[in-house]
Each structure stands twice: as C-alpha cells, then as structure tokens.
Amino acid sequence: MNREFWTKAFLILSRYSTEPEDSEEWRLKKIIGMVSALFGTLSWLGYGLLYGLFNERGAGLVCVGAGVLFILGLSTYGMFRRYAAFWYYVFVVHTLGITLVHVLLGGFALSGMVIVWTLLIPIETLVAYKSRPAFAMFLGVAAIMLVVAFLQPYYVRTTNHFPPSLLAALHVMNTLGLAVYVLLAVYYYVWRNEVLSRLVLREQEKGEALLLNILPKEIAAILKNENRVIADQFESATILFADIVAFTPMSATMTPTELVELLNEVYSSFDALVEKYGVEKIKTIGDCYMVAAGVPRCNPDHARVLTQLALDIRDQFNQHEFRGRRLKIRIGLNSGSVIAGVIGRKKFSYDLWGDAVNTASRMESGGAAGCIQVTDATYELIRDDFICESRGTVTVKGKGEMNIWYVLGKRG
C-alpha cells in the first residue's frame, strides 16, 4: 500500500514538474527542484511555529510569510510552467527571508547561525538548475553575509527570548542541516557522473564495435589516433570474389523483403567463415562478396587460407538451402600485389586496388557454377596443399591469354 502511494505521488509530481518535451536530465532537475521547494515550504512553516512558541513573533511571521510565498510560487509554476523564473523567485524569497530572520533575532550568535541557510539555494541551483546562475547566486549570498557582518555592531537587539539550550540546538540544526544538503548535492553529482561515465563508455563501445564491423581493427585504430591518408602497398596478397549464379533473374521473381532476407542469410554464412579463418571481408556489391587475405595483416599463408575458405563456401552451397532455395555460386581467386586504403570522409570504406584485384574479379565472372577458378599466380602458391585441375589457356577480358586452374579439394 505504501509503495503504491509513493509511486502515485511521484507520478503526480513528475507530471506537475515536467513537460513532455523535456530531456531526461531536465526532468530529473525539475523534479529535484520541486521536491526541494516542497521541503523548503515545510521548513519555513516549521521554523515559524518554533519561533512563535518562543515569543519571537517577528521572525515567526517572516517564516510563515516565506512559506506562503513558496506555496504561491509552486501554484503559479503549475499555471505558467516557467522553471527559470520560478527558481529565481525561490532564491529571492529564501535569501531575503533568511536575512530578515537573522536581523530580527539579533545576528549570528543569537539566531543560531540561521544565515548559513542562504547558501542552500546556490547549492541546490547547481543540482536542480544551472551552474552559472548558481555561481552568481553564491556571489550575491557572499555579499549579503559581508554586509550583515559589517552591520552586526549596529543591530538594535542584543538578546532574544531563546534559552541557551535552544540556541545551542539551533546552531547544530542549522549547520548540520546545511551540511546534509551539501552532502546530498555532492552525492548526486558523484552518482550522476558515474551514470554518465557508464553511458559514455557504453556508447564508445558501441561506436568501436560498429567501426570494427566496417574497418579492420588496425585501420580503425589509425583512424581514431591519427589524421592522415591511409594507403599501403602489399606485395603479396590473395583476393576472392564469390557471386551467386543467375541471381538477377531470380531476384526479379522475389519481393524486396524476400531478396534482402536471402542475401542476409547468405552473407551471414560467409561472415562466419571469414571470422573463422581470420581474413578480411572487403565489401559486398549486390550479390558479389569480396574477401582478401594478407591485408592489412601480412600473412605468408594468404593463398592457402583463402583457398580453404573458398572450398568451405562451395561445400556450404552444395549442402545447404538458403531460405528454401538451392543456390549455385561462382568463386574466383588471384594473388599478387595490391594497394589498400581508406577512401571518403563520410561512409568511408577500406578497399583494394590493382591489377590483381581486377584479375580476381575476372576469375569469378568467367568461372563455371559450383567451381573455384584460380590464376597461375595462386596455383603456384597452393599446388602442394590442394588438388587442382588445369583448364588450359583461356582468353581473359582485358588480360589476354592466361593459364587457369580449378581447385577441386584439399590434398589428404
């Protein structure tokens, strides 16, 4: 029952304090501000009652008047929703009220150091509003303290109706009460910084994860730490292109959703194999998938690793259906020198250039369904580990006549 009551009370307070367009930070600030104003109202009325009981009617009336003005401010805020004006209003009422009580009770010692409560609103402004107004309010309060300290010898009253025991209690109440508020404010700031730090760290991790999904980790590290053009020459690397056979006419019979789901399933299976072998996915172009080994990390086994990947891809297509469809794939490989780098400022990409890349693409486009076609350059690197069959000399577009090989399987 109590929990339900406090939940309802908080929801009512939240709706009263905030606007739908407020950010989470401002919602929290406004709720804290309203709660502080409510406690301030109760405190003013409580002190007014206390002073009245000990025949300090002037100070008691000031406290009751300040409490009424706080209630008026809370009610007015509900109508106009001007939080900045409300907060300055609270500062003026609170500061003037405390200063009057200080003077009416006879100064620092006779009031039980009630003047320290003028520091409350600057502290709360840091938490519930903004830092710059809080600093300005603190300067105003400091000026008031200097003035009342200078005028202390000229106060009319040199005594009041408070017994020594009550004065001692008021000293403790006022100083300890303000200390509690300071502690709560510091705790709030520490807690908020911890929350923000965790959120920032989480967002950084998300950003890094997204960056690593786009770029190799070595390239991502350079982009984060250096401002330079990223371009490297790799003397020996292997490039693989894989393409779904007859994909264009098949896609004409599919809905956009079916097409994307099919490619997503195919590419996800490729991605798993790429991760398994530690090679680098470069990009996808329609239904064509491009992978490289030996970039950006040099790997003397680049041809063997990528050939094994090609065999796994071929076997996966031979043994599995994708979205209920039996697909065929062409795969082409070539080895040689490439240039690798990052292009673009927005939506940048890591890409490869060079004759070796173009030739690998020709191996794929000129291959047969279900076959892995490689150049002489790749064959010389894998001949001891894989079973290959010569296709003979073939005329390749843009390259002329070349010796071409089919990879049939792994030896042993």
- For the stretch 86-111, pLDDT in tens is 999 999 999 999 999 999 999 999 99
Query: Does the structure show a pLDDT above 70 at 146?
Result: yes
Domain that holds residue 194: 2-207
- Give yes or no: residues 145 and 245 share one domain: no
* Within a domain: 182: yes
198 and 265 housed in the same domain: no
Q: Is the pLDDT of residue 291 over 70?
A: yes
- Does residue 207 have a pLDDT over 90? no
Amino acid of residue 378: T
- Give the pLDDT score at 185: 82
In a domain, 337, yes or no: yes
Query: At 389, is the secondary structure helix, strand, or coil?
Result: strand
Residues 175 and 273 occupy one common structural domain: no
Share of the chain above pLDDT 70, in %: 94
Question: Residue 179: what pLDDT?
Answer: 92
Contact status, residue 382 vs residue 303, Cβ threshold 8 Å? yes
CA-CA distances (angstroms) from residue 190 to 29, 164, 183? 15, 39, 10
CATH number at residue 262: 3.30.70.1230
89 and 154: one domain?
yes
How sure is the predictor about 186, in pLDDT bands with cuts at 50, 70 and 90?
confident
Pair 139, 240 in one domain:
no
Final residue belonging to a domain, choices 151, 179, 207: 207
* Residue 187 belongs to some domain of the structure: yes
- The residues that bridge with 241 in the sheet, in sequence order, are 290, 332
116 and 29, same structural domain?
Answer: yes
Could you tell me whether strands 231-244 and 280-285 are parallel, antiparallel, or unpaired per DSSP bridges?
unpaired
In terms of domains, do 197 and 336 share one? no
Mean pLDDT over residues 289-303, rounded? 91
| Confidence at residue 224, expressed as pLDDT on a 0 to 100 scale | 66
Highest mean pLDDT among 201-205, 295-299, 347-351: 295-299
Of 181, 207, 233, the domain-final residue: 207
pLDDT at residue 214 above 70?
no
* 319/315 Cα distance (integer angstroms): 6
- Confirm if 294 and 302 have CB atoms less than 8 A apart: yes
**pLDDT tier for residue 13 given thresholds of 50, 70 and 90:** confident
- Flag whether pLDDT at 208 surpasses 80: no
Residue 374 inside a domain? The answer is yes
Model confidence over 21-63: pLDDT tens digits?
A: 988 888 888 988 998 999 999 999 999 999 999 999 999 999 9
The candidate with the shortest Cα–Cα distance to 177, out of 102, 93, 119, 103, is 119
Residue 158 lies in a domain: yes
| Statement to judge: residues 202 and 245 lie in one domain | no
Is residue 163 reached through a cis peptide bond, with omega within 30 degrees of 0 on the bond before it?
A: no
Q: 148 CB contacts (<8 Å, ≥6 apart)?
A: 99, 102, 103, 107, 115
Q: 363: exposed, middle or buried (C-beta count within 10 Å: 0-12, 13-18, 19+)?
A: buried
- Beta-bridge mates of residue 393: 403
Does 326 map to a domain?
A: yes
- Considering the domain architecture, whether residues 130 and 254 belong to the same structural domain is answered as no
Q: What is the mean pLDDT of residues 272-299?
A: 90
Q: Which residue has the tokens 């908080």?
A: 10
**Shared domain check, 88 and 6:** yes
Judge whether 102 and 112 are in contact, CB under 8 Å.
no
**Inter-CA distances, 279 with 123, 293, 311, Å:** 57, 5, 15
Average pLDDT over residues 400-409: 92
Burial class (CB in 10 A: 0-12, 13-18, 19+), 54: middle
- Is residue 342 within 8 A of residue 335, CB to CB? The reply is no
Closest CA to 51 of 10, 131, 106: 106
Amino acid of residue 273: L
Which of 207, 233, 250 is the endpoint of a domain?
A: 207
Does the structure show a pLDDT above 90 at 138? yes
Count of domains in the chain? 2
Distance between CA atoms of residues 122 and 130, nearest Å: 10
Question: Do 11 and 155 share a domain, yes or no?
Answer: yes
Same domain, 168 and 46: yes
Residue 400 pLDDT class (50, 70, 90 cuts): confident
| Residue 199, pLDDT above cutoff 90 | no
pLDDT band at 228 (very low <50, low <70, confident <90, very high): low
Residue 218 lies in a domain: no
Identify whether 212 is part of a domain. Answer: no
Q: What is the pLDDT of residue 411?
A: 86
